[in-house]
Amino acid sequence: MAAKIKDVAKRAGVSVTTVSRVLNGEKYVKDDLKERVNRAIKDLGYAPSQIARSLVRKKTNLIGVIVPDLTSSFYSTILSSIEETASSNGYSLLVCNIIENIDKEFKYLNVFKEMRVEGIIIMHEKINPEIRTFINSLQLPVIFSSVKPADQNFISVIIDDYKAAYDATAYLIELGHERIGFIGGDMSDITSGQNRYSGYRNALSDYGVKLLYELIRFGDYKVGSGYELMNEMLLGGEPPTALFAVSDDMALGAMNCLYDRGLKVPDDMSVIGFDGSQLTELVRPRLTSMEQPIHEMGKLTVDTMLKLIDGTYQPNGDIIMDHRMVVRDSCKSITKD
Amino acid sequence: MAAKIKDVAKRAGVSVTTVSRVLNGEKYVKDDLKERVNRAIKDLGYAPSQIARSLVRKKTNLIGVIVPDLTSSFYSTILSSIEETASSNGYSLLVCNIIENIDKEFKYLNVFKEMRVEGIIIMHEKINPEIRTFINSLQLPVIFSSVKPADQNFISVIIDDYKAAYDATAYLIELGHERIGFIGGDMSDITSGQNRYSGYRNALSDYGVKLLYELIRFGDYKVGSGYELMNEMLLGGEPPTALFAVSDDMALGAMNCLYDRGLKVPDDMSVIGFDGSQLTELVRPRLTSMEQPIHEMGKLTVDTMLKLIDGTYQPNGDIIMDHRMVVRDSCKSITKD
DNA sequence: CTGAAAGCGCTTACAG
DNA sequence: CTGAAAGCGCTTACAG
C-alpha cells in the first residue's frame, strides 16, 4: 500500500508532527530535520492523502461543474477554460455531464454534496423548483456560467444578451436587409431565449423594419433544429434574405439546409450566428457571429468562484462581460437590382 | 455546518453505529429504529461525507482521466461516454485537460495520487520516461483509451489502426484512384502515426498502386495542419485525385483549403477522414470516414477499468474493437475521360 | 438486533 | 524548534 505519514516519520526518525510541518512548508523546522524528512518522502514516494487532509481541514479543493453537453463546442471550450483556471489555483473539478436528464443532475448534485465540493458551477438555466431548493439547501457558492436562471438569488457570469442580439440584428439591417429571419432559443430561458428575442424585435422596430412572424422560429440551440427550422421557413413561402440564429450551431444547421437545397450563403441568404464557437472558423463560408468571450468567461467564472469561497467577494448582481461581433464571410449587403 | 452522523444519531436516539448501518443498507436493524433514523436524516438534510467514508474504506470511487484536448470533438465525445458509464456505476471523474503541457500532466498525476484515485484513463500516447516511471510507481490500473503507448506494460482499448487505414486506402483504390494523397499523424505515435501509415502503404502495394512520396505529409491531427499540408501539396505540383487523412479534423482542414482555392470535393478531389467525429455530419459535403466506435470505446474503457479495479479481470493484451467505414458524400469514383 | 471503541491518515492546538 | 494527544466524520470488528 501507499506510504503514510507515519512511515515517513519513522524513516526520518522524527514525529509525524514534524513531517506534517515540512509537508505544509512551515518554518520553525531545523534544516537537518527538514532534509531528513524530505529524503524519506522521496525514498518512499510519499504523497499525502488529500482525503485525510480534507477531513481535518474541512476543505476539499473541489469544485463541481454541471455541463449540459460535453460534446458541444461551446460548452467544451468554457469547460476547458474553467479546468485550466481551477487547476492552476490548486482546485480540481468534479464534472457532471447531464444530457437533459434531471434524475442524473439530482444524483450528481448529491454526489457534490457528499464529496463536500466547495462550490458549484452550472451551465444551463433550466433548473426546476426541486433542484433549486436542493441547491439552496447546500449553502454553497453557486455560479451560473454563460446562462441566467429565473431565480434572482443566483449569480451569473454572462454577456448582455439583449444588446448582443440587438447589435447582431442591427448589423443585418445596416447591410440593407429587410426580410430578416430569426431562429431563437427556448423561450423559457431568460437570457438565451427571451433576451435575444427581445433584442431582435427591438432592433427591427427601432430601425422601422417590419416584424415578419412567418420568418420566426424557436429551436433548441443545436445543429439539428437549425436545419429543421430553416427547412420549415423555406417551405413556408418567400424566404428571408438574411438569418439571425441565436447559436452558431443552429446557424450552421441552417447553412447546411441551404446548401442541401442548392442555395448559397451569403449570395442567396446572409447568416449570422451567436456564441463564437470554434465552428465559426471551421465551416465554409466562415460564419459571422456575435461572440461571447468564451475563454475569458470560463476564467472569470472560476476567479469569482474562488473569491466567493474564501469570502473575498461580496456578490452584488450578475457579472456582465462584453460581447463582440466578428465579421467573417457569411453575410453580405443586399443589392437591389 | 453540514449535519454529521452524530447529529443524526442524537436526533434519532440511537448510536452512530446504527445510523451507519441504515446508511449502508445493512439488515439487522429493527424497522422502527430504521424509520426513526431515516426521518432524522431527512429532517437534517444529512448526506454522509464521502471523504470520511473514503478514509476508512480506503476506497474513493474516483477515476482520473487525462484528455489531450477537451475542445476536440473526438475526445469530448469519448469523455462524455466515459463520464456516463462511470457515473452510472457510482464513480466520479477527476478530469485533467493537458494541452501538450508536460508539467501540467505531472502536476495532475500527482493530484491523482494524492486524491487516491482508483484508476487512471489516458487518451494520448506521448508519455515520456519520467511520466511512465511515475505512473508505474502508482501501482494503479491504467488504461489507454483510443491510443497505444510504446510501453507494452500498459493496456489499450483501440481499433486495429493498421487494418482500418488499409481499408480506407483500399476503398479509394477501388473507386479507381491512383494518385492518392496521404496526410498522416505523428510518426512517434504507434497506432495513429505508424500503423495508419503502414496500412496506407501496404494497401497501395497490395493493389499495385505506385507510392508517390510527393503526396505524403505528416501533421498533428488538427484542422490547421490539414489545411497547411494540403496547401503545400497543391503548391507542389500535380495534385492527387483523392486524399486519405488520418483524422477527420485534418480531412476537414484539407477540404477547407480546397474550398478556399476554388476546388470542389469530391469532383476535383475525393477525401476520406478517420475517427467518425461529429464533424463528419456537420460539414458539407458530408465527410466519408473510417470510424472508430467512439461511444462504445469510452464505455468499454470504463467497464474494463471497473473490472480491473475489483480484480475481476486479468488483462491479457490490448482490447481491439471493430472499425467501420461510413460512406457519405466526399468521395466519388474516378472517371477517366 | 444494538452499541462502545478503535482506527482510517492526516493537522492543529497545547506544552515544553 | 519539537512532540504527544486530540479530533476530523465515518465504518467495522467485537461484545453482548
Is A284 touching B (CB cutoff 8 A)? yes
Does the reported pTM lie above 0.85?
Answer: yes
CA distances from B240 to A96, B13, B97, B234, B269 (A): 45, 81, 37, 8, 7
- Tell me which chain B residues have a C-beta less than 8 angstroms from the C-beta of A107: 87
Indicate if CB(B18) is under 7 A from strand C. yes
> Minimal Cα distance from B329: which residue of A?
A260
Is B250 touching A (CB cutoff 8 A)? no
Question: Is there a contact between B18 and B33 (Cβ–Cβ < 8 Å)?
Answer: yes
pLDDT in tens, A56-97: 999 999 999 999 999 999 999 999 999 999 999 999 999 999
Residue A55 has pLDDT above 70, yes or no: yes
N-terminal to C-terminal alpha carbon distance within chain A: 81
> Minimal Cα distance from A101: which residue of B?
B84
What local confidence, expressed as pLDDT, does residue B336 receive? Answer: 58
Residue A337 has pLDDT above 60, yes or no: no
Could you give the CA distance from residue B335 to residue B337 in angstroms, rounded to a whole number?
A: 6
Determine which helix (DSSP H) or strand (DSSP E) holds A15, and give its type and residue range: none
Count of A-B CB contacts under 8 Å:
118
Is A76 touching B (CB cutoff 8 A)? yes
> In sequence order, what DSSP letters do the residues of A200-263 get, joined into one string?
HHHHHHHTTPPP-GGGEEE--SSHHHHHHHHHHHHHTSSPPSEEEESSHHHHHHHHHHHHHTT-
What local confidence, expressed as pLDDT, does residue B268 receive? Answer: 97
- Tell me which chain B residues have a C-beta less than 8 angstroms from the C-beta of A264: none
What does the mean pLDDT of chain A come to? 94
Each of the 337 residues of chain B gets a pLDDT tens digit; together they read: 789 999 999 999 999 999 999 999 877 888 888 999 999 999 999 999 999 999 999 999 999 999 999 999 999 999 999 999 999 999 999 999 988 788 889 999 999 999 999 999 999 988 889 999 999 999 999 999 999 998 778 999 999 999 999 999 999 999 999 999 999 999 999 999 999 999 999 999 999 999 999 999 999 999 999 999 999 999 988 999 999 999 999 999 999 999 999 999 999 999 999 999 999 999 999 999 999 999 999 999 999 999 999 999 998 899 999 999 999 999 999 875 5
B47 to A110: CB separation less than 8 angstroms, yes or no: yes
Residue A26 has pLDDT above 90, yes or no: no
- Mind listing the domains of chain B with CATH numbers? 5-57 (1.10.260.40), 62-160+294-322 (3.40.50.2300), 161-292 (3.40.50.2300)
Indicate if CB(B16) is under 7 A from strand D. yes
Q: Which nucleotide is nearest to A28 (CA to C1')?
A: D1
Tell me the pLDDT band of A168, cut-offs 50, 70 and 90. very high
What local confidence, expressed as pLDDT, does residue A220 receive? Answer: 95
> In sequence order, what DSSP letters do the residues of B221-235 get, joined into one string?
SSHHHHHHHHHHHHH
Q: What share of chain B is helix, strand, coil (3-state, %, to 5)?
A: 45, 15, 40
Reduce the DSSP state of residue A146 to 3 states and report it. Answer: coil
Is B3 touching A (CB cutoff 8 A)? no
Tell me the pLDDT band of A336, cut-offs 50, 70 and 90. low
Which one of A87, A101, A104 would you mutate to disrupt binding with B, by most B Cβ within 10 Å of its Cβ? A87
Indicate if CB(B28) is under 7 A from strand D. no
Q: Which three cell numbers stand for residue A330?
A: 457569411
- Tell me which chain A residues have a C-beta less than 8 angstroms from the C-beta of B108: 87
Residue A310 has pLDDT above 70, yes or no: yes
Reduce the DSSP state of residue A106 to 3 states and report it. Answer: helix
Q: Which of B71, B95, B80 is CA-nearest to residue A78?
A: B71
How many residues comprise chain B?
A: 337
- Tell me which chain A residues have a C-beta less than 8 angstroms from the C-beta of B329: none
Could you give the CA distance from residue A220 to residue A124 in angstroms, rounded to a whole number?
A: 12
Strands (E), A98-231: 119-122, 142-145, 155-159, 180-184, 216-218
> In sequence order, what DSSP letters do the residues of A16-75 get, joined into one string?
HHHHHHHHTT-S-S-HHHHHHHHHHHHHHT----HHHHHHHHT---EEEEEES-TTSHHH
Could you give the CA distance from residue B294 to residue B322 in angstroms, rounded to a whole number?
A: 11
Strands A216-218 and A242-245 turn out to be unpaired
Question: Is there a contact between B182 and B203 (Cβ–Cβ < 8 Å)?
Answer: no
Residue A279 has pLDDT above 70, yes or no: yes
Question: Is there a contact between A77 and B71 (Cβ–Cβ < 8 Å)?
Answer: yes
Q: In what order do the strands lie in the sheet with A180-184?
A: A216-218, A180-184, A242-245, A270-275, A288-291, A324-326
Give, as ranges, the nucleotides of chain D with any atom within 7 Å of a protein CB.
Answer: 1-5, 7-13
Is A188 touching B (CB cutoff 8 A)? no
- Tell me which chain A residues have a C-beta less than 8 angstroms from the C-beta of B283: 282-283
Kindly state the average pLDDT of the residues A232-254.
Answer: 96
Kindly state the average pLDDT of the residues A303-323.
Answer: 94
What does the mean pLDDT of chain B come to? 94
Burial of A2 (0-12, 13-18, 19+ CB in 10 A): middle
What local confidence, expressed as pLDDT, does residue A27 receive? Answer: 75
Residues whose CB is less than 8 angstroms from the CB of residue B250 and which lie 6 or more positions away in sequence, other chains included? B183, B219, B221, B222, B223, B225, B226, B229, B273
Could you give the CA distance from residue A61 to residue A54 in angstroms, rounded to a whole number?
A: 8
Could you give the CA distance from residue A86 to residue A103 in angstroms, rounded to a whole number?
A: 27
Does B285 sit behind a cis peptide bond, omega within 30 degrees of 0 on the bond before it? Answer: yes
Residue A284's CB: how many other CB atoms inside 10 A?
19
pLDDT in tens, B170-221: 999 999 999 999 999 999 999 999 999 999 999 999 999 999 999 999 999 9
